[in-house]
Structure 1
Amino acid sequence: MEYKNIVFQKEDKVAVLTISRPKALNALNSETLKELDLVIDEIANDDEIYAVILTGEGKAFVAGADISEMKDLDVISGRKFGQLGNRVFRKLESLEKPVIAAVNGFALGGGCELSMACDIRIASSKAKFGQPEVGLGITPGFGGTQRLPRLVGLGMAKELIYTAKIIKADEALRIGLVNKVVEPEELLAEARALANIIAGQAPIAVSLCKAAINKGMQLDIDSAIAYEAEIFGECFSTEDQKNGMTAFIEKTEKCFKNK
């Protein structure tokens, strides 16, 4: 399928999504959010994709939600826009396949929120992060008030959101918002290398690990451990488990088939 604002590429077992509205610093309008919704479905239904990289074209990852679209919204349409963004980001977060955000530049507002809906964030040294919505008279609307505290802690999240502060990549690394910072020319290669390592593991097991982590973080520890035991057991119904353990014992090469 062809997309207007997203470039979708497949490289072996890795999908690369590039938000492509460079003249608008890749700002998220309704059209782009709906395209992202569709491409997530396309990836979910492709058994040959094991990992995903999400990045932006030009000097921004995503500079935010599109202010020119939001400016004249009323209460009802504003709520619907927030619901659209939240639904799409939640779908991305719940995608069975791991998603790596390769944050190449500005990740502000909706852009920061989009990166937080990914599993892992690798940032260019030129990247900048923030939730500057209160400076525009609004709150974060695509999950920022919920995911940021879960990643960096309550106090730090409140400081960033209340002050509309924009931070550099090294500060994002220090507070735990990103996993790694690399030079701009190394960013995509670093993301691809990580994606390829992930894609070389048993894909069903990786998917179940993602489910266990995401769901377990919302449960009490006893319920979370019980859920982990359930999905651990599920692994033993897969060909990949048998192939992986046989290869380990017999010292042969692993061959995972996503079955």
Structure 2
Amino acid sequence: MTKEAYQTLSVETSGRVAVVTLRRADQLNAMNKRMQGEITAAFEALSQDEGIGAIVVTGEGRGFMAGADIKEYAAQTGADFDAFQAAGTRMYAAIEDNRKPVIAALNGYALGGGMELVLCCDIVIANQFAKLGLPEIKLGLVPGGGGTQRSVAKLGRNRANMLLMTGAIVPASEFVDTGLVNEVVDAEKLMSRALELAEMIAAEPPAAIEGLKRLTAHAARGDLAKGLAMERDILGELYRSEIGQKRVREFAEKSAARAGKAN
């Protein structure tokens, strides 16, 4: 087994399977700028690695990924925010358009950007404690990493609207009948099941697997590029609005206060 060195995640390979583990457990693996860049770098490298046939992505601790780090959000200028969103587009594409199948092993909360990451994956296995949601509306915002576009594509418009407009956080088991989550397994079996699937897929002819991924993506995709651009434009307007700024600051202050009490 080999391991690559990153600060906010780890990449371990065994045979033809790579495991990417998000490692900001004290923040429920909330994504800051460094993690965003490291996810992009890791997945772009794995896509080009001919020795890898499948990728598993999971989180450390109780969270898969609890969205963007709102404390960092609150400190961003408008230009910083736009750059972060643009970099996010590249990050999600590195997963969705990866040449290798990506299996999400949901060990806990996948919220906001975390659920957006899940929406980019090819297969999703969850434990019984995993929950998903797109709660950006609680900040007076909309998702900016493809959440509005990919949730409709994978869940249907009405189910997506229920999530997006209420900000509900929903058990993974409720997404099985939609097809977003393939299986829910006991927590102790999560990684073994994800690795079993990854090894099974990685053992098949790489060109055929890559071809299947491209074909199913084409079948599912409408005018995604236009939708993603619209999403970023609306999010940018909302982030700069009075209520968006107020709610982001309030969330960041509450988060900092909770962290202070924990220490």
TM-score band by shorter chain is: 0.7 to 0.9
2:109 alignment counterpart: 106
1:55 alignment counterpart: 58
> Gaps (5+ residues) in structure 2?
224-263
Task: Tell me the secondary structure at the aligned position of residue 176 of structure 2.
Answer: helix
2:156 alignment counterpart: 153
Q: Which amino acid aligns with 1:176?
A: G
RMSD (Å) for aligned C-alpha atoms: 1.4
Aligned mates of 2:130, 2:73 — CA distance in 1? 24
1:90–1:123: structure 2 CA closer, same or farther, 3 Å change rule? same
1:195 aligns with 2:198: yes
1:225 alignment counterpart: none
1:35 alignment counterpart: 38
Task: Tell me the secondary structure at the aligned position of residue 9 of structure 1.
Answer: strand
1:219–1:111: structure 2 CA closer, same or farther, 3 Å change rule? closer
1:86 alignment counterpart: 89
Residues 67-99 of structure 1: CA distance to partner in whole angstroms, max 9, x if unpaired?
Answer: 111113343322221111121111211011000
Aligned mates of 2:78, 2:64 — CA distance in 1? 28
Q: Which moved more, 1:72-81 or 1:161-170?
A: 72-81
Q: Which amino acid aligns with 1:198?
A: I
1:177 aligns with 2:207: no
1:134 alignment counterpart: 137
Task: Tell me the secondary structure at the aligned position of residue 174 of structure 1.
Answer: coil
Match among 101, 108, 127 for residue 124 of structure 1: 127
Task: Tell me the secondary structure at the aligned position of residue 138 of structure 1.
Answer: coil
Match among 16, 21, 36 for residue 18 of structure 1: 21
1:160–1:84: structure 2 CA closer, same or farther, 3 Å change rule? same
Q: Which amino acid aligns with 1:67?
A: I
Task: Tell me the secondary structure at the aligned position of residue 216 of structure 1.
Answer: helix
Task: Tell me the secondary structure at the aligned position of residue 132 of structure 2.
Answer: strand
Match among 204, 208, 211 for residue 211 of structure 2: 208
Task: Tell me the secondary structure at the aligned position of residue 75 of structure 2.
Answer: coil
The runs of at least 4 aligned residues of structure 1 exceeding 4 Å deviation read: none
Identity %: 40
Structure (1/2) with the larger helix percentage: 2
In the TM superposition, residue 219 of structure 1 has moved relative to its aligned partner by 6.2
Task: Tell me the secondary structure at the aligned position of residue 71 of structure 1.
Answer: helix
> Gaps (5+ residues) in structure 1?
221-259
Higher CA-based Rg: 1
Aligned mates of 2:158, 2:94 — CA distance in 1? 27
Match among 167, 174, 182 for residue 164 of structure 1: 167
TM-score under structure 2 normalisation? 0.81
Q: Which amino acid aligns with 1:66?
A: D
State the number of aligned residues.
220
Aligned mates of 2:59, 2:177 — CA distance in 1? 23
